Structure 1
Amino acid sequence: MNNAPTLESVLTCPQCAGQSTQVMPTDRCQFFFECPHCHALLRPRAGDCCVFCSYGSVPCPPVQLARAVGEYRPSAAADRARGVMHDLLNRHI
């Protein structure tokens, strides 16, 4: 079984509904994204760790990996995402 995270996500702007395919960073959460269509500055919704978890077709790699190993809890996602990603990447290197 392949537990590699999906790295592309389609962000949908809540202001104009414009869509943009983006490659997600694997070493950090992306807190801001400027919509290329209307130039709105997107920020994560409360409880989400990044714009991909809030507006993407696929959640960020740390959340994907946490779900894959059964460690995902929505209330703790933002706090744990970076640590889970770091731990899992170090196990697979």
Structure 2
Amino acid sequence: MKIELKSTITCPVCLNKKTEEMPLNSCSFMYKCEHCNTVLIPNKSDSCIFCSYGSSPCPQVQENHLGHAELQIS
């Protein structure tokens, strides 16, 4: 299986969607919606904004769920 390196973030305020590349070795703790300027922060139970608002969780979480997977950009 492969790890997704792109995720579509959906703003919970205006429902705007934007696909972003996820960093491999760090977590993203803040994201500003380009449409409504809302600053998103992760939910308390999540490690980053991709885990809270993205179509795919961050690579670190994906790797933990899949074990050692081959990294490929999809």
TM-score exceeds 0.5: yes
1:37 is aligned, of 31, 35, 38, to 35
CA RMSD of aligned residues (A): 1.4
**Which ranges in structure 2 are unaligned for 5 or more consecutive residues?**
69-74
What letter matches 1:18 in structure 2?
A: N
Question: Structure 1 residue runs of 4+, over 3 Å off?
Answer: none
What letter matches 1:19 in structure 2?
A: K
The separation in 1 between residues aligned to 2:18 and 2:29, in whole angstroms, is 16
Structure 1 or 2, whichever has the larger Rg, is 1
What letter matches 1:66 in structure 2?
A: N
Name 2:23's counterpart in structure 1.
25
Structure with bigger RCO (C-alpha 8 Å, 6+ apart): 2
**TM-score, normalising length from structure 2?**
0.87
Q: How many residues align?
A: 69
Larger strand fraction of residues? 2
| CA distances 1:47-90 after superposition (whole Å, capped 9, x unpaired) | 10000000000000000000002xxxxxxxxxxxxxxxxxx6xx
Larger helix fraction of residues? 1
**TM-score, normalising length from structure 1?**
0.70
The separation in 1 between residues aligned to 2:4 and 2:63, in whole angstroms, is 10
Identity %: 43
